[in-house]
Structure 1
Amino acid sequence: MKTRGKVLAGIVIVFLLLQLIQPSDNDMGNPGHTEFKVAFNVPDNIGMILRASCFDCHSNSTVYPWYAHIQPMGWWMNSHISNGKSELNFDEFNAYPLRRKLSKLKSMAERIEEEVMPLQSYTIIHRSAKLSNDEQKLVTDWINKTIDSLEKNK
Structure 2
Amino acid sequence: MKKILVVLLVAFIILQFFPIDKTNPAPTPGMDFLKIKNVKPEVAQLINTSCYDCHSNETKYPWYSNFAPASWFLKNHINEGRKHLNFSTFATYLPKQQVHKLDECAEMLEKKEMPLESYFVGHQDAKLTEEQRKILIDYFKKEKEETERKMVF
- TM-score, structure 1 as length reference: 0.92
**Cα deviation digits, residues 54-108 of structure 1 (max 9, x gap):** 1110011211111111110000000100110100000011110000000000000
* Structure-1 residue corresponding to 2:142: 145
Cα offset, 1:26, TM superposition: 4.5
Relative to structure 1, the CA distance from residue 133 to residue 92 in structure 2 (aligned partners, 3 Å threshold; closer, same or farther) is same
Q: How does 1:1-150 map to 2 (within 5 A)?
A: 4-150=1-147
Which protein has the larger Cα radius of gyration, Structure 1 or Structure 2? Answer: 1
Contact 1:36 1:90 in 2 (8 A): yes
Moved more, 93-102 or 7-16: 7-16
Q: Can you give the 5+ residue segments of structure 2 that lack an aligned partner in the other structure?
A: none
The CA distance in 1 between the partners of 2:101 and 2:139, in whole Å, is: 14
Contact 1:26 1:60 in 2 (8 A): no
- TM-score, structure 2 as length reference: 0.92
When the two chains are superposed, the root-mean-square deviation of aligned CA atoms in Å is 1.3
Moved more, 51-60 or 37-46: 37-46
Cα offset, 1:29, TM superposition: 2.9
Percent same amino acid at aligned positions? 32
Task: Name the amino acid aligned to 2:19.
Answer: Q
The CA distance in 2 between the partners of 1:114 and 1:124, in whole Å, is: 20
The CA distance in 1 between the partners of 2:60 and 2:11, in whole Å, is: 28
The CA distance in 2 between the partners of 1:11 and 1:141, in whole Å, is: 49
The CA distance in 2 between the partners of 1:113 and 1:143, in whole Å, is: 11
**Cα deviation digits, residues 89-148 of structure 1 (max 9, x gap):** 000111100000000000000110111100011124322111111111111111122112
**Matched residue SS, 1:105:** helix
